[in-house]
C-alpha cells in the first residue's frame, strides 16, 4: 500500500514517518507534500491508498484537500492530524468520510490505531469493489449469450415468440415498433485453416470479430442486429428491420469490410420480406436454402437471394445421379486396383462438369450416397464379417479430411481426390478381409470343376470372389503350375474322353457338353493336349474294346 503525508511543517512530517509502524500496516511506499495544492498535484500520479493531512496549510488547506479527494478519488482513506480542536474541522472530516481526527501532539499508539483502522477499512472496501467488478464482468460476459439465446428462440421456438419479443424490446435489442423484416445468413467456411489460425484456432474469437464487423454496419443507424444462432456454429444471422430494400447493397458493404479486415468475402443467403416475429423460422429456412442452392460454377458471387432464385426457376435438384455410376464403382473397388478406381471416379466427375449443375446441396447428397454405397458393398461382399469391416472402414475414413461444401470457391478436384481416397480405402478394407491365398484358390478350383461346361472367364471369377484378376491369376499359377484357361481345358478334355467312349454321341454334342463353343476348336485343343484327334481317340478306344 501507499501513503501520503501532507503538512506544511517538515518536523511534523518527519515525526509521522517515525511514529507510524508502516510495515505492520502493509504500507511500503511513502511520499510527502507541504500543502494541499502540492498534494493535489502528486496524488494523480502517486495514487496513495491513505493520506495523513494537516488542516491549516497555505495555498490549499485541509478542508479543500478533503473535498477534492472526496470528489475525485473517493476510494482514498484519509486521517486528519491537527493542532486545533475545532468542531467545524471535525464536522468536515465526518462529512467527507474521513477515518479519524487526531490532535497534536501526536501519540504513537493513537496514530497507529488510526492507521490500522484506515488500512483495514480500505482493504475491506477493496474486496467489495473486486467482487462488484467480477460480477460486472460476468454480467457483461453472459449478456451476449443471453441476447443470442433470445434471438435464436425466434428461429427455433415459435411457442416462445410472445415472451421473447417482450424481452428483446425491454433489453433494447429489437425496437418495439418492428414489423416488416428481412433475414440474412452468413456461412463461414470451417475448412479455412488460414483464417482460423489468425485467431489461434479459437472459433469464439473469430465469430466475435465477424459479429463486430457486421454490427458496426447494422448498429450505426440501428437498422438491425447480427447474432450467432444456437446449434449452427458456422453461421451468423442478420435480423434487419430498416432499409429492407437495400439489404443486398448493405451486405456488399459488409463484405467489403470483411475483405479489408480479413482478406475474405463471405457468402450470404437473403430472405424476402416477412413479418416479425412469426415469419422468422421460415425466413431463416429460405436463407439457408439459398446458400445450399447457390451455383458453385459462378465465381465472385457472394449474395444469394432466395426470392431471385425462385423467380429465375433455378432447379439444382436435377444434378447427376450417382446411382447410374454405382456398378462401375463397385467393379472398380472389387478389382482392388488404383487405376480402375481412379477411372470410375473420374468418369463421375466428368459427368458433373459436363452437366454444369453444382451446388453445396448436391455435393452433400452425392457424399451421402457414396457413403451408403460403401456400406452396401461391405454388407454384400463381406458377410458374415461385415460389421467388423464396416467399423474398420468408418474409423479409417474418419481420418480423411472431407472438403467443405461451404468453401468460398469450390474445387471439384478436391472432391475427386477425396472420393478416390475413400474408394481406395474401401478396396483395401475388402482386401484385408479376404480368405488366405490357399483357401481362395481351393474355392476357385472347385468352382471351375463344377462349372467347366460354362463360359468361365477370369473376369467372372474376379467379380464372384471379390479379388482382382491379377491376384487370382498369380495365385492360381503358383498352386497348379498352369494358368486358369489351361486348367479349364484339361478338365474339359478329361470329361470329353469319357463321353467319347459312347459311340452314340456325336462329336458336336460332346464338344458342346464339355463347354467348347464349336467342334473345330474342341478338336484343336484335344489334339494339342492328347497328341491325337478326338476321332482317332474314339477309334483307338473301339479297337481296345
pLDDT in tens, 44-75: 999 999 999 998 899 899 999 999 999 999 99
Tell whether 392 is covered by a domain. Answer: yes
3-state DSSP of 165-208:
HHHHHHCCCCCCCCCEEEEEEEECCCCCHHHHHHCCCCHHHHHH
Q: Which three cell numbers stand for residue 15?
A: 515525526
Q: What value does the mean pLDDT take over residues 273-296?
A: 95
Band (pLDDT 50/70/90 cuts) for residue 383 is low
State the DSSP string of 103-155.
ESSPPHHHHHHHHHHHHHHHHHHHHHHHHHHHHHHHHHHHHHHHHHHHHHHHH
Which helix H or strand E contains 79, and what residues bound it? strand 77-82
Whether 182 and 216 share a structural domain: yes
Whether 306 and 214 share a structural domain: yes
Whether 164 and 271 share a structural domain: yes
Instruction: For the chain, give the percent of residues with pLDDT over 90.
Output: 62
Whether 420 and 458 share a structural domain: no
Whether 213 and 255 share a structural domain: yes
Whether 409 and 305 share a structural domain: no
Tell whether 230 is covered by a domain. Answer: yes
Tell whether 141 is covered by a domain. Answer: no
Q: Is the pLDDT of residue 169 over 70?
A: yes
Q: Which three cell numbers stand for residue 319?
A: 444434378
Whether 182 and 306 share a structural domain: yes
pLDDT in tens, 339-379: 999 999 999 999 999 988 899 999 999 999 999 999 998 88
Whether 117 and 21 share a structural domain: yes
What are the b/e assignments for 304-316, b being 16+ CB within 10 Å? bbbeebeeeeeeb
Task: Name 108's Cβ contacts closer than 8 Å, sequence gap at least 6.
Answer: 19
3-state DSSP of 362-423:
HHHHHHHHHHHHHHHHHHHHCCCCHHHHHHHHHHHHCCCCCCCCCCCCCCHHHHHHHHHHHH
Q: What value does the mean pLDDT take over residues 531-542?
A: 90
Tell whether 150 is covered by a domain. Answer: no
Q: What is the CATH number of the domain that holds 490?
A: 1.10.10.60
Q: What is the pLDDT of residue 134?
A: 66
Q: Is the pLDDT of residue 213 over 90?
A: yes
Nearest C-alpha neighbor of 155 from the set 276, 271, 281: 281
Band (pLDDT 50/70/90 cuts) for residue 140 is very low
What are the b/e assignments for 1-38, b being 16+ CB within 10 Å? bebbbbbbeeebbebbeeebeeeebebeebebbbbbbb
Q: What value does the mean pLDDT take over residues 266-275?
A: 96
The greatest distance separating any two alpha carbons of the chain, rounded to the nearest whole angstrom, comes to 158
Contact 66, 97 (CB under 8 A): no
Q: Which three cell numbers stand for residue 220?
A: 450505426
pLDDT in tens, 78-90: 999 988 888 788 8
Q: Is the pLDDT of residue 207 over 80?
A: yes
Q: Which of 63-67, 115-119, 135-139, 249-253 has the lowest mean pLDDT?
A: 135-139
Whether 172 and 116 share a structural domain: no
Tell whether 327 is covered by a domain. Answer: yes
Q: Which of 146-150, 239-243, 434-438 has the lowest mean pLDDT?
A: 434-438
Domain final position from 258, 282, 311: 311
Domain final position from 261, 276, 311: 311
Position with higher pLDDT, 434 vs 154: 154
Can you name the residues that pair with 267 across neighbouring β-strands? Answer: 187
pLDDT in tens, 414-454: 999 999 999 999 988 887 665 545 567 888 898 999 999 99
Whether 185 and 112 share a structural domain: no
Q: What is the CATH number of the domain that holds 230?
A: 3.30.70.270
Tell whether 350 is covered by a domain. Answer: yes
Instruction: For the chain, give the percent of residues with pLDDT over 70.
Output: 94
Q: What is the CATH number of the domain that holds 57?
A: 3.40.50.2300
Look over the chain and give the mean of its residue pLDDT values, rounded to a whole number: 89
Domain final position from 415, 432, 449: 432
Nearest C-alpha neighbor of 484 from the set 513, 507, 464: 464
Can you name the residues that pair with 275 across neighbouring β-strands? Answer: 180
Band (pLDDT 50/70/90 cuts) for residue 467 is confident
Q: Is the pLDDT of residue 30 over 60?
A: yes
Number of domains in the chain: 4
Cα separation, 307 vs 287, in Å, equals 10
Q: Which of 129-143, 192-206, 213-227, 508-522 has the lowest mean pLDDT?
A: 129-143
Position with higher pLDDT, 381 vs 482: 482
Cα separation, 199 vs 361, in Å, equals 29
Contact 93, 102 (CB under 8 A): no
Q: What is the pLDDT of residue 141?
A: 44
137 burial class (0-12, 13-18, 19+ CB within 10 angstroms)?
A: exposed
Whether 287 and 336 share a structural domain: no
Position with higher pLDDT, 37 vs 135: 37
Q: What is the pLDDT of residue 356?
A: 87
Q: Is the pLDDT of residue 138 over 60?
A: no
Whether 462 and 521 share a structural domain: yes
Tell whether 329 is covered by a domain. Answer: yes
The Cα angle at residue 458 between residues 455 and 463, in degrees rounded to 5 = 100
Quote the domain boundaries for residue 480.
437-544
Amino acid at each position: 500500500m501507499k501513503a501520503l503525508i501532507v503538512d506544511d511543517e517538515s518536523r511534523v512530517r518527519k515525526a509521522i514517518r517515525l511514529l507510524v509502524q508502516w510495515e505492520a500496516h502493509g504500507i511500503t511506499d511513502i511520499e510527502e507534500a507541504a500543502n494541499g495544492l502540492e498534494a493535489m498535484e502528486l496524488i494523480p500520479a502517486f495514487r496513495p491508498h491513505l493520506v495523513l493531512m494537516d488542516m491549516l496549510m497555505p495555498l490549499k488547506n485541509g478542508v479543500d484537500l478533503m473535498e477534492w479527494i472526496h470528489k475525485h478519488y473517493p476510494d482514498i482513506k484519509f486521517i486528519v492530524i491537527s493542532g486545533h480542536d475545532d468542531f467545524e474541522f471535525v464536522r468536515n472530516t465526518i462529512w467527507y468520510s474521513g477515518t479519524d481526527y487526531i490532535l497534536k501532539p501526536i501519540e504513537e499508539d493513537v496514530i497507529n490505531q488510526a492507521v490500522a483502522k484506515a488500512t483495514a477499512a480500505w482493504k475491506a472496501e477493496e474486496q467489495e469493489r473486486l467482487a462488484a467488478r467480477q460480477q460486472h464482468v460476468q454480467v457483461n460476459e453472459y449478456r451476449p449469450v443471453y441476447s443470442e439465446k433470445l434471438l435464436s428462440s425466434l428461429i427455433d421456438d415459435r411457442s416462445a415468440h410472445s415472451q421473447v419479443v417482450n424481452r428483446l424490446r425491454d433489453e433494447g435489442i429489437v425496437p418495439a415498433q418492428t414489423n416488416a423484416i428481412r433475414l440474412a445468413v452468413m456461412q463461414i467456411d470451417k475448412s479455412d485453416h488460414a483464417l482460423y489460425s489468425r485467431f489461434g484456432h479459437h472459433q469464439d474469437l473469430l465469430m466475435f470479430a465477424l459479429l463486430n464487423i457486421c454490427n458496426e454496419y447494422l448498429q450505426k443507424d440501428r437498422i438491425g442486429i447480427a447474432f450467432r444462432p444456437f446449434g449452427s456454429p458456422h453461421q451468423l444471422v442478420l435480423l434487419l428491420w430498416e432499409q429492407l430494400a437495400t439489404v443486398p447493397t448493405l451486405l456488399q458493404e459488409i463484405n467489403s469490410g470483411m475483405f479489408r479486415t480479413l482478406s475474405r468475402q463471405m457468402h450470404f443467403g437473403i430472405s424476402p420480406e416477412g413479418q416479425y416475429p412469426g415469419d422468422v423460422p421460415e425466413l431463416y429456412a429460405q436463407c439457408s436454402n439459398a446458400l445450399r442452392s447457390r451455383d458453385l460454377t459462378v465465381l465472385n458471387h457472394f449474395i444469394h437471394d432466395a426470392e431471385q432464385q425462385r423467380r429465375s426457376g433455378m432447379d439444382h435438384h436435377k444434378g447427376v445421379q450417382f446411382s447410374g455410376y454405382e456398378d462401375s464403382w463397385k467393379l472398380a473397388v472389387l478389382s482392388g486396383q488404383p487405376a480402375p478406381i481412379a477411372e470410375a471416379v473420374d468418369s463421375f466427375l466428368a459427368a458433373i462438369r459436363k452437366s454444369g449443375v453444382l451446388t453445396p446441396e448436391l455435393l452433400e447428397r452425392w457424399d451421402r450416397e457414396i457413403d451408403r454405397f460403401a456400406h452396401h458393398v461391405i454388407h454384400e461382399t463381406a458377410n458374415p464379417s461385415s460389421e467388423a469391416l464396416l467399423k474398420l472402414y468408418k474409423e479409417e475414413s474418419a481420418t480423411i479430411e472431407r472438403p467443405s461444401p461451404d468453401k468460398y470457391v469450390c474445387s471439384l478436384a478436391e472432391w475427386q481426390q477425396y472420393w478416390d481416397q475413400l474408394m481406395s480405402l474401401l478396396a483395401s478394407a475388402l482386401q484385408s478381409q479376404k480368405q488366405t491365398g490357399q483357401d481362395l484358390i481351393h474355392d476357385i478350383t472347385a468352382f471351375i470343376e463344377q462349372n467347366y461346361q460354362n463360359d468361365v472367364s477370369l473376369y467372372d471369377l474376379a467379380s464372384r470372389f471379390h479379388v482382382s484378376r491379377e491376384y487370382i491369376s498369380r495365385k492360381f499359377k503358383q498352386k497348379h503350375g498352369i494358368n486358369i484357361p489351361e486348367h479349364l481345358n484339361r478338365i474339359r478334355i478329361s470329361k470329353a474322353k469319357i463321353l467319347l467312349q459312347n459311340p452314340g454321341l456325336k462329336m458336336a454334342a460332346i464338344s458342346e457338353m464339355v463347354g467348347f463353343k464349336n467342334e473345330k476348336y474342341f478338336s484343336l485343343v484335344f489334339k494339342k493336349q492328347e497328341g491325337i484327334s478326338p476321332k482317332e481317340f474314339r477309334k483307338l478306344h473301339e479297337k481296345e474294346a
